[in-house]
Chains A and B, each alone.
Chain A
């Protein structure tokens, strides 16, 4: 296991971990479902304002790893340190409040709500009017509501969905639903954004646009973690790549290093990494 992790590693699991340099540090995460280890002893770190990709064949445990990081599941073992605070045992909304946002592999937008309302939900935690304020439309609640609407428009502008603001989210084509999920996640003002296969279902042009968007997000000071099958995109935009197979880390390093790693090539049967 350790051999495997250091195979391509320059940074990952390095003992000289200086706090402050890294935003997220996951240490020997393990999650078992009915005897089957979906994630086994996974350790990695994410540097601040980096774009890091997680790749691996289907069923390698990438999405489960996201679920562990965002508190949907609790790991059987291991720890997650985010900004020097432990995320273990916190409910997802608290983890979100600390600055971790994510999108989903199978889109989970609120399809009965409008596009703008979807993003407005992301701003929920940044506002605080209660039942009394909201039902009486007290000045503070009205100010907040105006602020929410304005902020939501900004995030829609960012992903290019401002024209569809008032359409039902469920009526958007698939690719735009993914963009909407990103806008909604960004509206929670994360420090770390976890993207789960954002390019699936996109054509080549849209994928390039997506790459630009991810750069822009990074330039906003947001660290991006990216689970993706589109190797072109991964190799182009990410600074570091973590490779999982059967729930274990088999390689970690720069795109170059990972691309030439024999274990990675074996896992992919040489099919996707040319």
Chain B
């Protein structure tokens, strides 16, 4: 490799990174190798509905229906993971941007009779606009940023609830038209659940692919650099404040996209769906799934969406729940919390990191929290 320095610069670079360039085929091969995870996910998503149907009944969980939600949350969680995991900027207000997307599309389709696909595009644009509007809070750091984004979320929630003439207030908006594309019925198709499922996951997978490209690009490096040292990144020529705004707006755009789809899948929205609870759930997806990992967003969205369903279904599996458990009316919440606490103790870097470490280094995916850590 050393003697061939004079070869074309692409080859040198490619050799260094184990990449190959040139031509469509080369790119396709390169993508295939780099995206093993992605391709297996595509395969899984593609066949899931076929074996899900016979499985749903005995499990007591409508798998395809829940997976639709997982897809929607994946779209938000990817954006939030780039913002939090890569760029290191926390947001406790993304539930509100999700809500803005949902309301934009709902209002435009119900009141102005936009077609749903156009409503969803408008949802993205409005979320982008709000993202820019809120972006000045990114001057704050750490806890202060967390507090400020929390405040933003609350303010936007209050607007959704109080602007009754536009949003219908606490009554929400009903009869939101189901998903459709020009010349294609999705939400009114015969097997509408499956159609929606595929529609959502095609979008989610495209988002995942684009985001995984993004984080490996110069912009991804700039984000990770400013995460680790803002001063050093800035002095190295990275326009830190602008890069932060870009990544924040990207994440609000994805939240808007997901929210727009959500409105049409649900058919009914009200402000209480988009409170701080949702924001915290989204952050939990990112953290449990694994920070600084695109696939962590999928894992986190899947886990956080499925756990409550599984907990709900537990009585069916076990036949009967003991009386003393039943007395705690909110035991689902307790199990949910317990699982989160255990994940954070034993897999502090998130489940995707734990699992990838297990595959790559052949070691336990769990961390011993009692082991003494070396001094940093």
| A113: B residues at CB distance < 8 A | 221, 224-225, 228
Interface residues on B, range: 35 or more
| B233: A residues at CB distance < 8 A | 110, 121
| Partner-binding segment picked from B207-215, B305-313, B359-367 | B207-215
Interface size on A, residues (CB 8 A): 47
| B164: A residues at CB distance < 8 A | none
| A97: B residues at CB distance < 8 A | 237
| Partner-binding segment picked from B8-16, B47-55, B277-285 | B8-16
Known: A72-B231, A134-B214, A135-B213. A185 touches B13 (CB 8 A): no
CB distance from A167 to the nearest CB of B (A): 14
Question: In the complex the two chains form, what is the Cα distance from A96 to B240 in whole Å?
Answer: 13
Question: In the complex the two chains form, what is the Cα distance from A185 to B21 in whole Å?
Answer: 28
A188 lies within 8 A of B224 (CB): no
B213 lies within 8 A of A146 (CB): no
- Among B9, B211, B228, B240, contact of A147 (Cβ-Cβ < 8 Å): B9
B174 interface residue per 8 A CB criterion: no
| Partner-binding segment picked from A3-11, A22-30, A124-132, A251-259 | A124-132
| Partner-binding segment picked from A101-109, A201-209, A212-220, A229-237 | A101-109
Question: In the complex the two chains form, what is the Cα distance from A140 to B234 in whole Å?
Answer: 25
The chain A residue with its CB closest to the CB of B214 is A135
CB distance from B212 to the nearest CB of A (A): 9
The chain B residue with its CB closest to the CB of A119 is B236
CB distance from A15 to the nearest CB of B (A): 33
| B224: A residues at CB distance < 8 A | 110, 112-113, 117
A72, A129, A135, A184: most-surrounded residue (chain B CB, <10 A): A135
Question: In the complex the two chains form, what is the Cα distance from A96 to B232 in whole Å?
Answer: 11
CB distance from A203 to the nearest CB of B (A): 23
CB distance from B50 to the nearest CB of A (A): 31
CB distance from B176 to the nearest CB of A (A): 30
CB distance from A216 to the nearest CB of B (A): 18
B217 interface residue per 8 A CB criterion: yes
B246 interface residue per 8 A CB criterion: yes
| B220: A residues at CB distance < 8 A | 134
| A109: B residues at CB distance < 8 A | 232
B213 lies within 8 A of A110 (CB): no
Q: Could you write out 26 A-B pairs with CB less than 8 Å apart?
A: A92-B235, A93-B236, A93-B238, A93-B240, A96-B236, A101-B235, A110-B229, A124-B218, A124-B221, A124-B222, A124-B225, A124-B236, A124-B237, A131-B250, A134-B213, A142-B21, A143-B10, A145-B218, A146-B10, A146-B13, A149-B16, A149-B17, A150-B12, A153-B13, A184-B236, A188-B237
B residues in contact (CB < 8 Å) with A: 9-10, 12-14, 16-17, 21, 27, 210-211, 213-214, 217-222, 224-225, 228-229, 231-240, 246, 250
A residues in contact (CB < 8 Å) with B: 70, 72, 91-93, 96-97, 101-102, 104, 108-113, 116-117, 120-125, 127, 129-131, 134-137, 141-150, 153, 165, 184-185, 188
| 6 nearest CB pairs, A to B | A125-B237, A134-B217, A96-B237, A135-B210, A149-B13, A108-B232
Further pairs besides A96-B235, A153-B16: 6, Cβ < 8 Å: A72-B231, A93-B236, A93-B237, A110-B232, A112-B228, A149-B17
